[in-house]
Amino acid sequence: MASEKIIDGKAFAAALRGRIATGVAAFKAQTGRAPGLAVVLVGEDPASAVYVRSKGKACREVGMESFEHRLPADTTQETLIELVEQLNDNPAVDGILVQLPLPDGLDDKKVIDMIDPDKDVDGFHPVNAGRLAIGANALTPCTPLGSLMLLKDRIGDLSGKEAVVIGRSNIVGKPMAQLLIQENATVTLAHSRTVDLPAVIRRADIVVAAVGRPNMVRGDWLKPGAVVIDVGINRIASDEPGKTRLVGDVAFDEAESVAGAITPVPGGVGPMTIAVLLRNTLVAASRREGLADPEGL
Ligand code: NDP
């Protein structure tokens, strides 16, 4: 039987996708068109190809239009930027996602900089990072926004909570800290130079681990009752010879007995990312049409 401590990201994401489908139907009724998401994949990286396929499928399932662009690994920066510019100009496209990492020789940052910030559904453009920092209407990176949704669903008001985010990447850690600040939490952003990380974490009512180190956060680092969001996705050798399995950044079995609630890996934050991508696409489409942001998302 599933423990009540376990935060079921899969179920939450499924319910969110249901609300998005309702929002998409309303958008269609108002505008006569479906929101459109363009996903660009350069090269043959098998993991990226799987992500791109699942994004397309998830789009169609909520009634959105999906445009897939596959370019060979030897695509030049100019060709890729030309495609991004075409997508910026295409009125049927509300969201543009360039699957990262790009193959060697292409500059992720330069390509992201070319995406129209109002179509930047990954929320990686510097304009959206700036909007998030000043509390303006940003398109917010999907994984941290999904993590925040899970936290609010479990805790309710985050005001005054001590939150520790481990990891300061532009994709997860920093936007996560910004979101928690907006929710009036007291936020510490820890990283590889943090001194005595266990002591820092022991203060926290909320721990978000986004490091990429298997099982790094131990059970005895946690304050009893803390809510733990494990963003990490790490593949390690399994007990079965020749097989691998996914684990998070938090030693789950130890942490589960101390934490008030915890996301599993897989099945916690992971499923939220694509659901929030769809949410961001619907938000981007609504804003581009001059409509209010959809409610309940
Ligand atoms: P990055 O590698 O960009 O950042 C890792 C961060 O962890 C850095 O800020 C680094 O600090 C910090 N760090 C490294 N070692 C330590 C340590 N010993 N103690 C404290 N902090 C440390 O990773 P991402 O943010 O891109 O991703 C983090 C994890 O989340 C990965 O496992 C990734 O796979 C996963 N992920 C999951 C997603 C999902 O669920 N859909 C989406 C995105 C990521 P410093 O800055 O000092 O180097």
* Domain identity same for 175 and 58: no
pLDDT of amino acid 3: 77
Beta strand extents in the chain (DSSP E only): 36-42, 65-71, 95-98, 162-166, 186-190, 206-209, 227-230, 234-237, 244-247, 261-262
Does the residue 146 lie in any domain?
Answer: yes
Going from the Cα of 138 to the center of ligand 1, the distance in angstroms, rounded, reads 22
Going from the Cα of 236 to the center of ligand 1, the distance in angstroms, rounded, reads 16
What φ, ψ does residue 143 adopt, rounded to 5°? -65, -50
Instruction: Say which DSSP state 250 is in.
Output: B
For residue 244, what is the domain's CATH number? 3.40.50.720
Active site residue 243: no
Q: Which of 233, 263, 269 to mutate to test the pocket of ligand 1 (most atoms within 8 A of CB)?
A: 233
Q: How many domains would you assign to the chain?
A: 2
> What is the spatial order of strands in the sheet that 95-98 belongs to?
65-71, 36-42, 95-98
Active site residue 55: yes
Residue 212 has pLDDT above 90, yes or no: yes
Residue 110 has pLDDT above 80, yes or no: yes
Residue 1 has pLDDT above 50, yes or no: no
Q: Decide: 140 and 132 in contact? Cβ < 8 Å.
A: yes
Active site residue 10: no
> By C-alpha distance, which of 235, 231, 199 is closest to 218?
199
List all residues whose CB is within 6 A of at least one atom of ligand 1. Answer: 143, 166-169, 171-173, 190-194, 197, 210-213, 231-234, 269-270, 273
Does the residue 62 lie in any domain?
Answer: yes
* Domain identity same for 177 and 258: yes
Does the residue 75 lie in any domain?
Answer: yes
Does the residue 19 lie in any domain?
Answer: no
For residue 89, what is the domain's CATH number? 3.40.50.10860
Digit-coded pLDDT (tens) for 62-79 = 999 999 999 999 999 999
User: How far apart, in whole angstroms, are the C-alpha atoms of residue 32 and residue 265?
Assistant: 40
Mean pLDDT of 212-223: 98
Does the residue 284 lie in any domain?
Answer: no
For 136-169, letters b (16+ CB in 10 Å) and e give eebbbbbbbbbbbbbbeebbeebeebbbbbbbbb
* Domain identity same for 79 and 191: no
Digit-coded pLDDT (tens) for 175-188 = 999 999 999 999 99
- Residue corresponding to tokens 């790009």: 102
Does the residue 203 lie in any domain?
Answer: yes
Cα torsion angle, 69, 30, 141, 148, sign = negative
Enclosing domain of residue 103: 31-117
Residue 153 has pLDDT above 80, yes or no: yes
Instruction: Say what percent of the chain tops pLDDT 70.
Output: 99
* Domain identity same for 177 and 248: yes
Digit-coded pLDDT (tens) for 13-66 = 999 999 999 999 999 999 999 999 999 999 989 989 998 999 999 999 999 999
- Residue corresponding to tokens 């994949």: 41
User: How far apart, in whole angstroms, are the C-alpha atoms of residue 80 and residue 108?
Assistant: 11
- Residue corresponding to tokens 């101390």: 258
* Domain identity same for 109 and 214: no
> By C-alpha distance, which of 184, 141, 146, 135 is closest to 162?
184
Cα torsion angle, 37, 281, 29, 63, sign = positive
* Domain identity same for 195 and 92: no
Does the residue 9 lie in any domain?
Answer: no
* Domain identity same for 113 and 184: no
Does the residue 72 lie in any domain?
Answer: yes
Mean pLDDT of 244-269: 97
In sequence order, what are the residues at sequence separation of 6 or more whose Cβ sits closer than 8 angstroms to the Cβ of residue 9?
146, 150, 263, 264, 267, 268, 269, 270, 271, 272
| Rg, the chain, Cα only | 19
pLDDT of amino acid 2: 61
Q: Say whether 52 sits in a helix, a strand or coil.
A: helix
Digit-coded pLDDT (tens) for 279-294 = 999 999 999 999 999 9
